[in-house]
Structure 1
Amino acid sequence: MVYFLSVLAAVWVVGGRQQNALIQQQREGISLEFNLEEKPTPVKNEEGKKKEVEAEQGVVAADHGRCAAVGVDVLREGGHAMDAAVATALCLGVLNPIASGIGGGAFLLHRSSETGLSQAFDMRETAPAAASQDMYNNNEQAKKYGALAVGVPGELAGLHTAWLQHGRLPWKRLVEPAIRLARDGFPIARYLGSKLLVFQSKIMGNPGLRSIFAPNGELLKTGEICYNKKLAAALQAISDHGPLAFYNGSVGEMLVEDVKKAGGIITMDDLRNYRVEVSEPVKFEAFGHEILGMPPPSSGAVGLSLVLNIFASYGNSNAAKGDLGLHRLIEAMKHMFAIRMNLGDPNFVNVTSCMLDMLSSEFASKIRERILDNTTFPPDYYMNQWSQLRDHGTSHFCIVDANRNAVSMTSTVNSPFGGGMVSQSTGILLNNEMDDFSTPTEMTPDHLPPAPANFIAPNKRPLSSMSPFIVLKDGQLAGVIGGSNGIFTIPAVVQVFIKHFIFGMDPLSAVQHPRVYHQLIPNEVSYENWTVLDGEHYELSGEAKLFLEKRGHELQAMENGGICQMVVHNLRRPTTAMLKRRSVGRNRVFHGMLTAVSDARKDGFPSGF
């Protein structure tokens, strides 16, 4: 089903009640004024918490601990997992704008424990109506930086659409924490502080970014208080009037004007006509689990399916174990990356054949026959026709509520700090999602032709590596998992899934275990050699390195990789309340202990109660 964001089509429901005067309010404009002299009351810095929590009622695993706590506060009040998703996502857009925010887009998976039904909410950015596949022929850098790189934002529309269907708490309650943090100030966390230094030139090169992160001419440091009062005012309007403030009101009008002045092509019609697409998830079986993932333009679900089916074709789950299993994993991922570049937005290209192949056990068996245990091969052996999508940073969180409803959501502004542009009138950081499209004339780093299935067209959504998943076992929720950091996302999630759901490694160890990556070109295995912000060091063992080198792999150390969040629902360990019931019954929802893990690589931490 497709949901259209247009005041001509419907009146939004705000705070759980119909607002019949909303359209007129939008026409009259919305005030974005605050008393900027209010005494700031910054939120306490929550760093140093545990990377793993165990809880009976509900949990949130996010890559910023304060936002995980915001989500759990909503769950404590009786909120649905979707309520917590709205509050968590909006919080992350304020505290971690390096990777997400309402100026970007997202994929969200939901599964209802009450009905057993699941949904995939596609709120990915779209190309503006004035976009074309040759729009960057004379200026390739404009695809990456600045106003012309901005896709039509979809996150806010998607969150509201999902909340309308499942939310229990008022919309205003869910937006309030993000308003307060942006208005009253928040301490710069270690991860954001480190990235401000890395991207200093990007920050200092844009007046909007500079006003937020270098208000006195110097970059804010970790622990210092950051304010974004313009964003707080925009969020207040969105709280009071719903998403129409953004998609057909003064927030959107100011944002469009800022983009236009900077040379962009987004219009108010683009915002009014944005649609959230709601469909059934991709579903597949692997090693005794049913896995739910996003359909294209996400390549995560079909990518995970292909790799797991390749391992299943060996006929023994031990095929993925040890150093030999690592070699096989690398080879499987190389085949997967080559094949996935035939995917694109299914509203514009026919991806059925490619999807069916990537979901097929028979196809996986044929791929497995091309994987040899004693060697690796040059890139052209993997039949990579098209240049690889090298997308960038994102943010992921997992939520399970007291009723065992589950949400897995990955949000993005594409590159770190998007295209390096903040709308100065609204404080909203803008994405550079147009860089996730392929263009006919671009010079690709792997010297392969750009993928035609991913060429730009008006209203089209670019291909993505975002990989939110929900995992079931015998009809019961078993876990929620996902990752971030662009092209590293799928390999990271694959490795965490294998370690926990196949080999039974405890959740924290599965997430923190050192990982490997491959991008086909260059033809080298990237392995983690990484001391992260909390002092933990991740590095592939010397024995594994030697094993891979003997099979012809070229190895390259790196201080980078995917970031995974995970929630495990222990189906062998009932909660106290469940034990009091004595039996589950054939159609009853099992309530097991919840374990939430946040990846130390991004210095987040989970929360639960």
Structure 2
Amino acid sequence: MRNLELPGRSPVHAPHGMAATSHPLASQAALDMLKAGGNAMDGAIAAVAVQCVTEPGSTGIGGDCFCLYAPEGRDKVIGFNGSGRAPAAADIAYYRDQGVTEFSRMSPHAVTVPGAIDGWTRLHADHGRMPLADVLAPAINYARHGYPLSSRVASDFEACAPLLRTDENAARIFLPGGKPPKVGEMHFQKELADTLEAISTHGRDAFYEGEIAQDMVDYLRSKGGLHSMQDFAATKGEYVTPITTDFRGYTVHECPPNGQGIIVLLLLNMMSKLDVIDGPVTTDRLHLELEACRLAYRARNLYVADPAFADVPVEDILSDDYAQRLVDAIDMTRAQEPPADIPLTRHRDTVYLSVVDKDRNACSFINTLYMGWGSGFVAPKSGVVLQNRGHGFSLEPGHPNCIAGGKRPLHTIIPGMLTQKGRAVMPFGVMGGHYQAFGHMQFLTRMLDYGMDIQEAMDAPRTMVDPDDDAVEIEGTVPQDIQDALTARGHRLKAPERPIGGSQAIWIDWEQGVLTGGSDPRKDGAAMGY
């Protein structure tokens, strides 16, 4: 329990239903669905649709989604991969001939075909109760009639204003009067409202065929993209079998590659071999976590890709032997820069939400554009912000994550689910690009190893090894003496440009019949229940 004399949030408790999202209007939309007779899937889709309006820098219908769903709270967790693919015409030889050596975030070649709407409509049709028009109505209302900017969202608008000015459609919609709106100002996305309404009436095909798809394809091709109407029409997500590991008496479920959920499980396997030392924010503990991060993310970059195009050695990565060899490589006195390659034996912005209903259907849902406002491209007639997930592809021939037609890139977004004794006990997730796998580990270990409650585990200071330059991003709430000690061990520390990540989770107490939710203070959101 937190010190009630200090500023902070308490966990939220309720008996019937709960939603935890990064925006209060989204949490409220989810609760309204539950109270109207909808289930957790209805609530999750209603909430994420609202977030696509009210948090346009973090997510959008031009992005991707992943979901873990536990019907009636059982441990037979359903996974769904709603990540989009590169255009069929994408070919490494083409990019080489064009002199393209990397995909910048604002390149049309970084735009993969959006998978979110296909995912929403599939999941709704298979698991929802309410009419799709009712589920999307709150988002349509906020897009058409306006929503007020909250603090973190206004900060995101301000930070991304230079990007938004590079695209005439983005500037027109998101910089009204030539400048980003301020906290408390109303903002409107009327083109997006019309697009959402078409989807609510005509379903998936309204987005992937006809005028809306043509608008996106024409705009991308005008920028030099290789996208086609056939690419959009062929978009189809897939149900997947979650991968798992056991940690401290619980089973942790993650989506399999092409996402980085496998790295969460690898990190937990490593932590299970280590003694729980002093406290969660101490020099030794943070050094240990950072070294584990370096080694696990090195494995991610070497092996994780779309399994339809590459041999991803899931069993080897999750083997007891591999976790032990990574742990053995950690030097408690010194940081490894760069991290060592430990071969296998066989030779960035997002929204996450949790919803649980009265029947204990539990939904763990994540939706993304990747970087803030994705590629920065906005389709002119439909108002769809287009993601830049292809930024994560490699242009190195033979690399598992090398771009190819119809291939899905390595994905950072990962929903999580915790089960025990045949029941779901916590849908959870962490936002923040590369941080997410490391963030899952930090959140779970702070709860299960150090006894923090669901909110305290989110509030605690965060660190992260930046995979791009191997420096350590460290929040200013980490005490200075600890920062100095980490520097003395060889870690190169830097302040993060933005607070590290965000998180949501709901704990299900089956004996008491109580739901307990937490929502990250680094965002504007809230856990709400009834």
Shorter-chain TM-score range: over 0.9
Choose the corresponding residue for 1:377, options 336, 353, 361.
Answer: 336
| Secondary structure of the structure 2 residue equivalent to 1:548 | helix
Give the C-alpha shift of residue 317 in structure 1.
4.3
Q: Does 1:83 align with 2:42?
A: yes
What CA distance in whole angstroms lies between the structure 1 residues aligned with 2:207 and 2:521? 34
In structure 1, list runs of 5 or more residues that go unmatched.
1-47, 386-391, 441-449, 530-538, 576-592
Matched, 1:214 2:135: no
Q: Does 1:608 align with 2:529?
A: yes
Q: Which residue of 2 aligns with 1:304?
A: 264
Structure 1 residue 438 and structure 2 residue 394: aligned?
yes
What are the within-5 Å matches in structure 2 for residues 232-251 of structure 1? 232-251=193-212
Q: Distance in 1 between matches of 2:358 and 2:324?
A: 41
- 1: distance between equivalents of 2:74 and 2:340? 46
Distance 1:451 1:334 in 2: 23
Which residue in the other structure is 1:198 paired with?
A: 159
Output the CA distance in 1 between the equivalents of 2:186 and 2:41. Answer: 30
* Matched residue, 1:466: 413
Q: Deviations over 1:132-157 (max 9, x none)?
A: 12444424576421433321111000
Residues 337-363 of structure 1, C-alpha deviations (whole Å, 9 max, x = no match): 111111100000010x2x223212222
Q: Residue 523 of structure 1: CA displacement? A: 4.0
Distance 1:135 1:96, change over 3 A: farther
1:103 aligns with 2:67: no
Answer yes or no: is the 8 Å Cα contact 1:63–1:605 preserved in 2. yes
Are the structure 2 counterparts of residues 372 and 597 from structure 1 closer, same or farther at C-alpha, using a change threshold of 3 Å? same
Match of 2:506 among 546, 567, 573: 567
Q: What is the correspondence of 1:352-367 to structure 2 with a 5 Å cutoff?
A: 353=313, 355-367=314-326
Pairwise CA RMSD of aligned residues?
A: 2.2
1:66 aligns with 2:25: yes
> Relative to structure 1, is the Cα distance of residues 380 and 547 closer, same or farther in structure 2, using a 3 angstrom cutoff?
closer
Q: Per the alignment, do residues 474 and 229 of structure 1 end up closer, same or farther by CA in structure 2, a change over 3 Å counting?
A: same
| Alignment deviations for residues 165-185 of structure 1 (CA, whole Å, 9 cap, x no partner) | 111111111011111111111
Counterpart-to-counterpart distance in 1, 2:316 and 2:115: 30
For 1:49 and 1:90, the matched residues in 2 are separated by 28
1:266 aligns with 2:254: no
- Structure-1 separation of matches of 2:78 and 2:334: 42
Match of 2:292 in 1: 332
**How many angstroms apart in 2 are the aligned matches of 1:523 and 1:333?**
10
Q: Is 1:349 aligned to 2:310, yes or no?
A: yes
Secondary structure of the structure 2 residue equivalent to 1:408:
strand
Given that 1:343 and 1:453 are in contact with CA atoms closer than 8 Å, whether structure 2 keeps it comes out as: yes
Task: Tell me, yes or no, if the aligned pair for 2:9 and 2:455 is still in contact at 8 Å.
Answer: no
Secondary structure of the structure 2 residue equivalent to 1:596: strand
Letter in 2 for 1:82: M
In 1, Cα distance between equivalents of 2:401 and 2:102: 18
**Alpha-carbon distance, 1:218 to partner:** 2.9
Alignment partner of 1:295 is 2:293: no
Shift of 1:318: 4.6
CA distance in 1, matches of 2:230, 2:364: 30
Distance 1:552 1:521 in 2: 17
Cα separation, 2, equivalents of 1:468 and 1:107: 7
Equivalent in the alignment of 1:598: 519
Using the TM superposition, name which of 259-268 and 194-203 deviates more. 259-268
| 2:476 equivalent to 1:476 | no
Distance 2:192 2:153 in 1: 18
User: What secondary structure is seen at the aligned counterpart in 2 of 1:106?
Assistant: strand
Partner-residue secondary structure (3-state), 2:400 = helix
Structure 1 residues 141, 216: closer, same or farther in 2, change over 3 A? Answer: farther
Aligned residues: 516
User: Once structures 1 and 2 are overlaid, which stretch shifts more, 119-128 or 51-60?
Assistant: 51-60
Residues 146 and 426 from structure 1, CA distance in 2 versus in 1: closer, same or farther, beyond 3 angstroms?
Answer: farther
**Contact 1:123/1:277, CA 8 A, preserved across alignment:** yes
Conservation of the 8 A alpha-carbon contact between 1:143 and 1:434: no
Q: Residue 285 of structure 1: CA displacement? A: 0.8
Contact kept, 8 Å, 1:319 with 1:325, in 2: the verdict is: yes
Match of residue 188, structure 1, among 130, 149, 154: 149
Quick one: which amino acid aligns to residue 39 of structure 2? H
Give the alignment partner of residue 516 of structure 1, picking from 463, 484, 495. Answer: 463
Give 1:594 shift: 1.3
Gapped regions of structure 2 (runs ≥ 5): 1-6
Partner of 2:482: 544
8 A Cα contact 2:150 2:183, kept in partner: yes
Report the Cα distance in structure 1 between the residues aligned to 2:28 and 2:403, rounded to whole angstroms.
39
DSSP 3-state at the match of 1:264: coil
CA contact (8 A) 2:295 2:340 kept: no
Structure 1 pair 158/289, CA: closer, same or farther in 2 (3 Å)?
Answer: same
Q: Deviations over 1:386-411 (max 9, x none)?
A: xxxxxx21111111111111111121
> Match for residue 3 of structure 2?
none
CA distance in 1, matches of 2:259, 2:122: 19
For residue 602 of structure 1, give the secondary structure of its aligned residue in structure 2. Answer: coil
In the alignment, residue 460 of structure 1 is paired with which amino acid?
Answer: K
Looking at structure 1, the residues matched to 431 and 12 of structure 2 have their Cα atoms a distance apart, in angstroms, of 21
Q: CA deviation at 1:205?
A: 2.1
Q: Which residue of 1 aligns with 2:126?
A: 165
Secondary structure in structure 2 of the residue aligned to 1:492: helix
Equivalent position amino acid for 1:122 in 2: N
Shift of 1:540: 0.8
Mapped partners of 1:330, 1:457: distance in 2 = 33
Residue in 1 that maps onto 2:353? 397
Q: Does 1:277 align with 2:224?
A: no
C-alpha contact 1:334 1:382 (8 A) present in aligned 2 = no
Alignment of 1:82-161 (within 5 A): 82-113=41-72, 116-137=75-96, 138-140=99-101, 143-161=104-122
CA distance in 2, matches of 1:142, 1:347: 22
**Residues 49 and 605 of structure 1 are in contact (CA less than 8 Å); yes or no, is this contact kept in structure 2?**
no
> Cα 1:499–1:237, aligned 2, differ >3 Å: closer, same or farther?
same
Greater Cα radius of gyration, structure 1 or 2: 1
SS at match of 1:239: helix
Q: Distance in 2 between matches of 1:114 and 1:149?
A: 38
Deviation of residue 547 (structure 1)?
Answer: 3.8
Q: Distance in 1 between matches of 2:111 and 2:470?
A: 32
Q: TM-score, normalised by structure 1?
A: 0.81
Instruction: Select the residue among 548, 555, 562 that pairs with 2:493.
Output: 555
